[in-house]
Amino acid sequence: MKKKKSKEIQIVNDRPVWPPMKNQIKGAVRRIFRLSPWMKLSLQKARVEKPKVLKDGTVSKKPDVYYRCAMCLGEFKQKDVQVDHIVPVVPIDKTIQEMSYDEIVDRIFCDLSNLQVLCKLCHDIKTKNEKKQGR
């Protein structure tokens, strides 16, 4: 049976450097963020309710719910939108390896003013533009 080599944590500027599982850790923090009040408040701000007309022509008691994209101003179902950080979690001039755990958490759990709801297409375009700028 082979023994696994233990990986030492590097310390740079008195801070631990991300271990090889950095993306999994960042992903876990993002999953926790999805359950946060920040996420819910961002969606509430973009929420648009419209009367739902049933097949028999009557209006339902429950409205149809859509969310307005901050870029294209289109209205989409919740499955077709994403809550986006206006200022990226990983700054354009940095790599994730240069960031501390605290910095990542602080940037994911940011002020509500740094969050916006985008449709998937607009989010993809914004992400591609950010990557072109220097990542």
DSSP conformation letters of 64-110: EEEEE-TTT--EE-GGGEEEEESS-SS-TT--GGGS-HHHHHHHHS-
- 6 lies in a domain? no
- 4 lies in a domain? no
Nearest CA among 100, 82, 80, 76 for reference residue 90: 100
Cβ atoms of 83 and 70 closer than 8 Å: no
Question: Which pLDDT tens digit goes with each residue over 48-92?
Answer: 999 999 999 999 999 999 999 999 999 999 999 999 999 998 888
Question: Which pLDDT tens digit goes with each residue over 102-129?
Answer: 888 999 999 999 999 999 999 999 999 9
Question: Which pLDDT tens digit goes with each residue over 10-55?
Answer: 677 777 665 566 777 888 888 999 999 999 999 999 999 999 999 9
Give residue 7's pLDDT band: very low, low, confident or very high (50, 70, 90).
low
- 56 lies in a domain? yes
Count CA atoms within 13 Å of residue 30 on its CB side: 13
- 17 lies in a domain? yes
Q: Is the pTM of this model over 0.85?
A: no
**Containing structural domain, residue 80:** 11-132
- 1 lies in a domain? no
Cβ atoms of 17 and 9 closer than 8 Å: yes
- 67 lies in a domain? yes
Q: How far, in Å, are 29, 56, 70, 102, 132 from residue 121 at the CA level?
A: 24, 34, 12, 31, 17
Split into its structural domains, the chain has a count of: 1
